[in-house]
Structure 1
């Protein structure tokens, strides 16, 4: 019963400014993050970390920034696609005989957009590279917005907080039939890009609401007995005074143990492979 929650664009609270969305009651999420590690996402390369290279580091355990020669994203181009198709966690797990699924819900509009112009993010690309379907049958699928509207002012219309917790419980129960379920929660990066100084009230409200819903989702997962890992690819939503990505460190947290040893996002990807029983290149 293993679930990996991959946040997009959420820096570690240790590197967040005062008054950030992290500063609220998050009774499940915050203790989890505080027991984990704060990992460097820059890898010593100038510029703002990006989702394409950052997520590729997590998915492969390799330095995708060095492969590209720069931070690159948001979508993986041909170079990163080759890296993901050979070394990503879903591909290698399927080759080892494991059952893996991306538990995101993709609406019909997503598939229509892909037919017009294919621009898959790293997670759906890796799933398809492993010859696995999007919207896998038999799973309670999770919308990346966790029930918030996709446009400003991002109000919660489709799911209550208790609905999100119940969805987490259902997903954790379904995870018994799988070796790994993955959630690509990219909506936080969308909210982060709405930031500016002064931060609009509706942006901060949406960011705080989103973290509350991540908290509820994890609470539901843990109530089902699932092992949960939480990560993020780069900073953004932790600092809503700007709309760009940040140089903040990012979390790596595990529900069953303190995380010690990994220093940066490449280590984080190697740690994930070790967790899943795949050969790694680092010892922690």
Structure 2
């Protein structure tokens, strides 16, 4: 199984505790993002098997990398910035939506018999928003909808079929969601380490699962050191659990980002830093050798499943040909 975790707005940068919260707070899995050698961190596995890759988020287009174009590249294999000749923030444009509708990773995998799913579970208000304003939704939502599979709900979350946006459910009690009454089990805080340990077995029936964590980008824009410390602690506990339970001979962990941001809290904008990609497990060496930009991850996934036609179609896509 491929466990594909997306951390929004995390770039690779030099060690600098004055500006980089990963340099200051990370002790384990995310410490190398802050310029700390992987040999100096607390991990349940040999650090030599982990790959930390500085990944090009520009894809040949100058300017600050942005979410809509970067995420399109991450989840279709088609470099959104190169197609549009610009970086696009927020919601995908008409062209990006067309790319995702045809080349969504989850869609293509399922069409080829490899059961795949988007793990994020959503509240009733968000699901209503998607229904009423389908043009104002994120790339990840579109990637799932393109596959024909439904977005996961709070019922899925309650029954262990997905994950919440902050992993621990701490935020859930602050959202004012009317359907959740005091004492609802969904309001109970989850232990990120235990959740990480269970995640591989929870979703073992899939060939690939995608999970999106976007609080990193929000913290970066807010320049919030206190929240940065908290989410780094939670994420590292989660990944420690994942690394303890994953079988590197059968499973692959991919952690990716779309652009830099949170690694520099001295300013509130995205950065020019390369995006972080972290790999561990089956085929990680091959992935590490061939990943140079955000658009390189999906083709490597197709190679893992022997999907030569999908690989060809992605490389020969009509959108990139038009941009040339």
Shared fold (TM-score greater than 0.5)? yes
Question: Over aligned residue pairs, what C-alpha RMSD do you find?
Answer: 2.6
1:154-173 equivalences under 5 Å are: 159=189, 163-173=191-201
Q: 1:36-92: CA deviations, max 9, x gaps?
A: 211111123122111110011111111211211210122112211110111121111
1:216-231 pair list within 5 angstroms: 216-225=237-246, 226-231=251-256
Distance in 2 between the 1:167 and 1:245 partners? 30
Residues 26 and 142 from structure 1, CA distance in 2 versus in 1: closer, same or farther, beyond 3 angstroms? farther
- Which structure: greater helix fraction? 2
What is the DSSP-based 3-state SS (H/G/I as helix, E as strand, rest coil) of the residue aligned with 2:204? helix
How many residues end up aligned between the 2 structures? 269
Q: Partner of 1:182 in structure 2?
A: 210
TM-score, structure 1 as length reference: 0.85
The answer (yes or no) to whether the contact 2:29–2:239 under 8 Å persists in 1 is yes
Equivalent residue runs for 1:1-284 within 5 Å: 1-14=1-14, 18-23=18-23, 24-30=25-31, 31=38, 35-118=51-134, 119-135=136-152, 137=156, 139-147=160-168, 148-149=170-171, 159=189, 163-195=191-223, 203-225=224-246, 226-256=251-281, 257-258=284-285, 259-279=288-308, 280=311
Q: TM-score, normalised by structure 2?
A: 0.75
How far the C-alpha of 1:172 sits from its partner, in A, is 1.1
Q: Do the aligned partners of residues 272 and 211 (structure 1) sit closer, same or farther apart at CA in structure 2, a change above 3 Å counting?
A: farther
Bigger RCO of structures 1 and 2 (CA < 8 A, at least 6 apart): 1
Of the two, which has the highest radius of gyration? 2
Where do 5+ consecutive residues of structure 2 fail to align? 32-37, 39-46, 175-186, 316-324
Change over 3 Å in CA distance of 1:83–1:169 after alignment to 2: same
